[in-house]
Amino acid sequence: MATTAAGDRYLTLDTVRGVAVLGILLLNIIAFSMPAPAYMNPAAYGGAQGADLAVWLGNFILFDSKMRGLFSFLFGASTLLVIDRATAKGESPGRVHYARMIWLLVFGLLHLWLVWWGDILSNYALMGMIAFFFRGARIKTLLIVGCILLGVQFLVASSLVLVSGMAQAMPDSPEWREAALALERGFGQPPQQWLAEDVALHRDGWWSLTTEQFRETSFAPIAGVFQYGWETLAYMLFGMAAFRNGMLAGRWERRRYWRWVAIGFGIGIAAYGTLALWIIGSGFEMTRVIAGTMVLTVPLRPLMIMGWASLIILLLRPGGLLTSRLAAAGRMAFTNYLATSLICTFIFYGWGLGWYGELSRAEVYLVVFGVWALILLWSKPWLERFAYGPLEWLWRSLARGRPQTMAGGVLVKA
């Protein structure tokens, strides 16, 4: 196939990215459909028994933060790919990269303030600006720096456990009481009155919700750099290393991929399963939820992310129906990610159908499967006619300072 304006494509990168953009919704659907603490603590809202508990358990062990991490891996790999192509064309890699990141930040802020509070694009843009300085680093350096960043993330997350413990030890202190309330609304089981107010707000009109959302999240991108940016950047660097050594490009021997599947899932499932039983045994007590989901999982996630990436690459079939659909979804990940937010906020928020807080944890997955079907059905036909997804085209055109051609036809490398 001939190369066009869209440039060469790597089937492995597109397919892994496609799985990641679909997989992220497995977790984000909880944040779309019910109060924020339900994301980490099923006892807070949505159900923590029977099918609801089973859904939480499956997500926690297999998908929670792994899909986001996989997406971050791909972001790092794609960053190198863009830089390499710009260099090969005689363009300034710095200008191309930072133009992309600045416009991604703009999209992310609009998404955060006008659509949904769970945006990750703004954090990706900010950490991507830092990742550029590692474009020429050796694979060993990328891995070492990434591990150091994960160490910092572990310490930052551990501070939440310390704050939780101090707040419980000094309940009469106004400062610690306020800290406890903040943690409770993220990881604990808030009072019914607070939950009812949150549900009422999200079922209200767009203006009242957006005004409150902007008040709550106006400085969230800056806070996010210090709260979880370390881990995001670490995953980007790991993704760069995985692209440089051929892993994400599909160049490893199959037995090497199978080895990582065995390592990632073997260690990860056993460890996550143990943590899940520890959390459940406490009745989803807040400190255990924080420790079990935010702290002790930090060294485990990269192993499972590598396991997932390896498994997807092993299972993809060039020319296969599902592979081609997933690859198309991955090529349009930016469009599909933002379209998912618009669809889900329409379904759950008051400016749309207003289903917020109505469905149980298990029931919301009917929405997930519907959104997946839409993404898989529309991405491939669109890309058979056009070189980019609609928002990919807009992003590229803004970053390049001129409208890009939408002619179709892309060279795909297996």
Q: Total structural domains in the chain?
A: 1
How far is 297 from 226, CA to CA, in rounded Å? 18
For CA atoms 287, 292, 293, 294, the dihedral sign is: positive
Mean pLDDT for the chain overall: 93
Which residues span the domain enclosing 340? 9-413
**Alpha carbon distances (Å) from 179 to 154, 173, 185, 350:** 20, 10, 10, 30
230 lies in a domain?
yes
Share of the chain above pLDDT 70, in %: 96
For 337-376, the pLDDT digits (tens) are: 999 999 999 999 999 999 999 999 999 999 999 999 999 9
User: Which one has a higher pLDDT value, 177 or 341?
Assistant: 341
Is 16 among the domain residues? yes
Candidates 203, 277, 215, 212; CA nearest to 53 is 277
**Would you say residue 273 lies in a domain?**
yes
Rounded to whole angstroms, how far apart are CA atoms 64 and 54? Answer: 14
pLDDT at 8: 57
Whole-angstrom Cα distance, residue 405 to residue 392? 12
Taking each helix axis from N to C end, the angle separating 93-114 and 220-227, rounded to the nearest 10 degrees, works out to 110
**What is the model's pTM?**
0.94
Residue 408's pLDDT band (boundaries 50, 70, 90)?
low
> Is residue 358 situated within a structural domain?
yes
**Mean pLDDT, residues 159-168 taken together:** 85
Residue 1 lies in a domain: no
Residue 203 lies in a domain: yes
> How far is the CA of 343 from the CAs of 230, 283, 325, in angstroms?
30, 33, 20
pLDDT tens readout for residues 28-41: 999 999 999 999 99
